[in-house]
Amino acid sequence: MWRLDATLARLQHWDELLCVRANRGARQRPVALALQAVSWLGNGVFWYALMLALVLADPAGAMLPVLHMVFVGAVGTCCYKMLKRSTLRSRPFEVNPLVTAGAAVLDRFSFPSGHTLHAIAFSLVACWHYPALWVLLVPFTALTAVSRVALGLHYPSDVIAGGALGALIAGASFLIN
């Protein structure tokens, strides 16, 4: 058991160290503003705009892809809210004095990252239906994940877990689609 405890302690140390370093790098005003914008867009604005753009660009063909995205988003929201309520992990800026919050939070707890969960899930579904979108969605999704850590709102493990859960939800949706 002591090996598991030691491994978990090492992982937590690296999680905190990476969060502190990313947060320090995001304190330059232009970087902070860019990451704040990406994070704000990742609140849902970007994804709702994408769904609307798909419907406007492809009225006949976009309804199923957009409904697919809505379904995946609803499942993702339910899953991450349940996890947040059960894990109750504090946000990095709340427990580490070396980390400052670079943006407002939407809810109290850190694990998992809902922004990353939705970015991965929506990107996978959108690119499944419209493969040309990867050029836009992959960079935005990556920036969304990075922004959450750099802004001091999540640990890297929160982002990894959110991304994995988003991929799992999107992947499962392809089986029932």
DSSP secondary structure string for all residues of 16-49: HHHHHHHHHHTTSHHHHHHHHHHHHIIIIIHHHH
pLDDT, mean of each 10-residue run, the chain (177 residues): 77 90 89 95 96 96 96 96 92 93 90 97 98 98 97 96 98 89
Domain tally for the chain? 1
Residue 177 has a pLDDT of: 59
What's 90's DSSP letter?
Answer: P
Residue 39 has a pLDDT of: 96
pTM of the model: 0.92
43 closest CA partner among 135, 114, 92:
114
83 closest CA partner among 39, 114, 123:
114
Residue 79 has a pLDDT of: 95
The CATH code of the domain that includes 21 is 1.10.606.20
Cβ atoms < 10 Å from Cβ of 171: 12
What tokens were used for 24?
């320090």
Residue range(s) defining the domain that contains residue 146: 2-176
Distance CA(23)–CA(18), nearest Å, equals 8
What tokens were used for 148?
């959450």
